[in-house]
Chains A and B, each alone.
Chain A
Amino acid sequence: MIPVNAIIKEVIKETPTISTLKFDIKPDAIPGQFVMVWIRGVDEIPMALSHPNGITVQNVGDASETLSNMEPGDSIGLRGPFGNGFELSGQRIMIIAGGVGAAPLLPLAHQLRLKGTKISILLGAKTSKELLFEEQFSRSGEINVATDDGSKGYHGVITGLMDTYDLNSFDMFYVCGPEMMMRAVLDMLHTNSLESISQFSLHRYFKCGIGVCGSCTIDPSGLRVCKDGPVFCGNILLNSELGKYHRDVTGKKIMF
């Protein structure tokens, strides 16, 4: 498919670095799927759908900055939705979100809530001002926050907060956040033999976004994050490159 035109209807400033853009079309997506967002004349980058008709962007570079500065009436091109998305299962589930990683998890929380699932949300950020979707998540379940600087909630990394729960009482874990956080969560789940009931949404460099070019494949499975993922079960990731290295735009390995 070639990009379809989407007109920005609303821009919501979520945190000092993160904005939500709502547009005039609703891609028919399941939670965890992403779209390739074409900022004409600049770049095309992958973004999770945080809303049926919206994305939530952290300003980290050229393309995301241009996106963050867009106003109602501006337009972008969208290809997608692509990727597998989360598999909705479990009666008593834990959502673990770090930073902008909360974006793909918000529609998941909404859908699971509609199914009557009991949800605990662990939301982490560097500092209290950067906590994303705290209020929205709290409508779907019990929420607990952690900040690196202790400005709100638990002072420290999110695995510390996980420690305060009886992890064995959950039957599915959904995780998205910075790579090292996801690795730490995976290791902790593994310690409790729970990695096979976990789903992680990964981030790798995407070029085509549709499973052809090979720039997003992970070791040692050779699976494509854009097509076979971005959501993978913890047991596939246990002995993978997650938290060790990723590849840059040239394909060169970069250690974390």
Chain B
Amino acid sequence: MSPIIQGIITIIIGVGGCVGYFYFANLFLDKVLFPARGENAGRNINRANMIRPWVFLFPAMFALGLYLMYPVVGSFFRSLYDRSGDEFVGLGNYARLFNNPDFRQAFFNNILWALFVPAGATFLGLVIAQLTDRLRWGNIAKSLVFMPMAISFVGASLIWRFVYAQDGDIGIINAIRFYFGAEEGIDPLQIPFWNNFLLMIILIWIQTGFAMVILSAALRGIPEETIEAAIIDGANPFQVFFKIKVPQIMGTIVVVWTTITILVLKVFDIVYTMTGGNFGTEILPSFMMDFMFRDDGQATAVAFVIMLVVLPVMIWNIAQARKEMR
């Protein structure tokens, strides 16, 4: 069977199965379980309506439970056992982590990432969204800024390896240095501390498009009259932007910011591809990758630390997003 037909059949079975589930479950509830007939018709209708939401929600809850809750709980228990998984070590894995200078380095670097990437991407996204708002070629500019979103993290990293290349004929940083008279090329990715920021730039480059698209829509949602009123009140363009526009889309800015923060705490590809975590660029996700399959006890402990760090950001994010929707 050709893969195309296979794919089509899969789609039909999948979509048909979903539709079928809701249709027949509903039918079963109304006709068989609690039929709206006989002496208890009224009571049956009420009962059916009470159960219906749960019937409809069941597949989603089941799938989420199986693929989300179980791994979380499972990981937590795994992190309490040693590398082979045989011996219970309590919080031993966590103690070892916090005594490990590499982990502390990764933790510190990750804090830098979680601060600068969301800030950079949100700020640039907002500025670009505002600057391109009224331009005739604004949409073209926006498409260009958005395009990196479509590139995988590994692909993006490969592109930036050229930018950071030691060879002045390839890497723009060394090309500029040579232009100003430098004799020898350097590897920017080996400059301690600052190489972290060179890696962050890649993720900022990717995520700015996301921030821009969301914030651009938010900016357009601002009532035009409030801006005109501010202009009549004497506000200059900067004051209009910072005192009228930005406060009105603060909720959206927070959602964008936290969404990117959550992403930052998951992305290991860039570090993995660019430096392999060397030269002091390790972050938690790539640190976890180092242990994976060799010491799952430690790896799951890192995973759990990441989850604990993400959790508050996530809760805030969801709370903000819900407030926005209201």
**Real binding pair:** no
The residues of B with any CB-CB pair to A shorter than 8 Å are none
